[in-house]
Structure 1
Amino acid sequence: MLQACLNGGRMRDFHPALPFTASEIARDAALAVAAGARELHIHPRGPDGMETLEPDYVTETLQAVRSAVPGIPVGLSTHWRIPPGGLSRQEPMHRWTTLPDYVSINLIEEDAEDVIAHILGRGIGVEAGLWSVSDAQRFVGLKDAAKCLRVLIEINEQDIDEGLRAADGIQAVLRKAGHTLPILMHGDEASVWPIYGEARAKGFDSRIGLEDGNLLPSGQMAKGNADLIRAALDLVSR
C-alpha cells in the first residue's frame, strides 16, 4: 500500500504546490489517488495557514477530501507541535465531530499512551509512530499496542546507513515482542527514496509526498504530490 502524505507542516517555500486549504487538499488528494495512492495522510490548516486540530477545520477538510475521493482512508497527524501544542492539543481532539479513519501518534511524545487510548476509544485507527529503538520499546509495553492499526516506522536520520540501522533496531524490538501489526516505513528528505526502496524490499507499506520530500529519485524537483506518487510506483514496476 502506498500512502500519500500531502502537506505536513511544510510551507510554500518548500514547494509552491503544497496544499493548505480544504479545497486545495481535496484537489491534491484526487490527483494523488488518480496517480496510484491508496491512503491519504493530511494536516488540516486554519485560515492562517498553520496546522490545526480545531474541529471546524478538521470537519471542513475531511468532508472536502472524502467528497473528492470517496472510500479512500484519510488520516491526520496529532503531533506535539500542532497549536495549541503539547498536552493542550488534546482538547480540540476531544471535540472532533467528524472523525478521520486513523491518526498518527508519535511514541516519543509524553502523552502518547493517553492519546492512543482516547483515539481507540472513539473507534479511530492508530498509526503508532516509532522514531527509535526507545520508541519501539515503549510501544511494545503498552496495553493497547495490539489494538493499533499499524506501526509507522519513521526514519528521520539523514545519513542513510544510520537510518537503516535505526529501522533494523526498531524491527528487532517488534519481532522480539511478537508483534505482527502491519508496518508502514518511510524516510525524510535525503532518506525518502532509500527508505522507500527498503520498505518495498521488505514487503512493508510506505508513503510518499511533500510532507517528506520534494525531490524525485532523479534529484529533480517534483511538480507536486501526484508526480511523487507516480515516480514511486514507477520504481516498483521496473
Structure 2
Amino acid sequence: MTKTILTVAVTGNQTTLAQHPRLPCTPEEIAEACISSEKAGAAIAHIHVRYPDGAPSMELEHYSEVVDRIRDAGSQILINLTTGPGGRFTPSKDDPKVAAPGSTLTHPMRRVEHIVALKPDICTLDLNTMWSGNSAVINPPESLKVMAEAMREAGSKPELEVFDSGDIHLAHALLEQGVLDAPPLFQIVTGIRYGFSCTTQTMAYARSLLPDRAQWAAFGVGRMMYPMLAQAFILGGHVRIGLEDGVKLDRDTLAPSNAALVEKAKRIVNDLGGELASPKEARTILGLGG
C-alpha cells in the first residue's frame, strides 16, 4: 500500500476569528502552524495569508515572510501556496456588470505573483467557475493558461482544485492541449454549496473521472471533514485537514490547533490500516525534484 500524503490547510480565507479565536493570521502564526503540523504528521502545508486582523491578503510580503520562516526553521514540509484569491466577482444590485464591494477579480498574473517570486513546491490552480455566497468565482480557461505557464516556469507543480464534474472535464482539455503536464495532481473539494456533495457516491464518481495516472486527494468541509477524509483514504486517495476546512476536533470541542487536527487525521488513517508519508516520501510520490 502506498503511503498517504496528508496536507494541512492552516487558515484559508473563509474561516473567521469569530469561528476560531486562535486562527493563524500573522505570518509568524501561520508559519508556526505549518511547522507544528509537520511534527504531528503533515507532509504538505497549504497556505493562504491574512492581514493581522484576519482579513484575507494577497500581499507578496506576507507570503514571503511565511515561506522564509518555515524554511529558516529547517522544516522539510512541502509548501503549497494558494492562487485562489483574485477570482471573485460580486455583481452590483443596481448594475450587475459593475463590481460591488467584495469583488477581487484581477489579472491572472497578479494571482501568481507570489508563485513567480517564491517558487513553492506546489501551488493550487482552481478550475471552478461557480456561485459562492453572494459572489461568482470566475476562472476563465484563458486565465488558467496564463497562470499554468507561470507555474511551469517557476517549477511549481499545480494542484488542480476541482469542485464539480465540469472542472475535471476542463482539466482533461487542458492536459490534451499541453497547458498542464502529466501526470496531474488533483484535490477534490466536497461540501461547497452548488459543488460536489459530501457523499461516498459523489467522491467515487469524481475519482472515476480523473485521468489515468493522476495523483489525487480529497476533503470535506465542516462536520463532514472527518468522514470524507476517511472516504478519500478508502478510495485510494491522499487526504487533507486543517482550520481552513473545519474548526472542531469533535462535535463539542473546538480544535486547539491545526496540529491537533493532524493528530486526529493520523489516527484515522492508521486505524484504517494506512500510514502517513513523510515530506521526503511525499516528494518522491508526487515526482517532485529537490
Q: TM-score, normalised by structure 2?
A: 0.73
Measure how far apart 1:68 and its partner are. 2.8
Q: Aligned Cα RMSD in Å?
A: 2.5
Structure 2, unpaired ranges of 5+: 89-102, 129-138, 272-290
**Is 1:3 aligned with 2:7?**
yes
- Judge which range, 76-85 or 52-61, deviates more: 76-85
Contact 1:6 1:225 in 2 (8 A): yes
Alignment counterpart, residue 229 of structure 1, candidates 251, 262, 266:
262
**Is 1:119 aligned with 2:151?**
yes
Measure how far apart 1:218 and its partner are. 5.0
Q: Which residue of 1 aligns with 2:187?
A: 152
* Distance in 1 of aligned mates of 2:73 and 2:20: 23
- Judge which range, 127-136 or 82-91, deviates more: 82-91
- Judge which range, 148-157 or 34-43, deviates more: 148-157
* Distance in 2 of aligned mates of 1:19 and 1:157: 22
| Other structure's SS at 1:29 match | helix
Q: Which protein has the larger Cα radius of gyration, Structure 1 or Structure 2?
A: 2
Contact 1:55 1:92 in 2 (8 A): no
Contact 1:130 1:151 in 2 (8 A): yes
**Is 1:65 aligned with 2:98?**
no
Normalized per residue, the structure richer in helix is: 1
Percent same amino acid among aligned pairs?
Answer: 23
Measure how far apart 1:102 and its partner are. 1.2
Change (3 A) 1:180 1:148: closer
| Other structure's SS at 1:163 match | coil
**Is 1:78 aligned with 2:80?**
no
Contact 1:6 1:25 in 2 (8 A): yes
* Equivalence map 1:144-223=2 (5 Å): 144-147=179-182, 150-157=185-192, 162-164=197-199, 165-174=201-210, 178-223=211-256
Equivalent AA in structure 1 for residue 188 of structure 2 = I
Normalized per residue, the structure richer in strand is: 2
Change (3 A) 1:198 1:219: farther
Change (3 A) 1:30 1:11: same
* Distance in 1 of aligned mates of 2:111 and 2:85: 13
Q: TM-score, normalised by structure 1?
A: 0.87
Change (3 A) 1:132 1:89: same
Change (3 A) 1:69 1:188: farther
| Other structure's SS at 1:33 match | helix
Change (3 A) 1:232 1:94: closer
Change (3 A) 1:141 1:189: same
Q: How many residues align?
A: 234
Structure 1, unpaired ranges of 5+: none
- Judge which range, 189-198 or 139-148, deviates more: 139-148
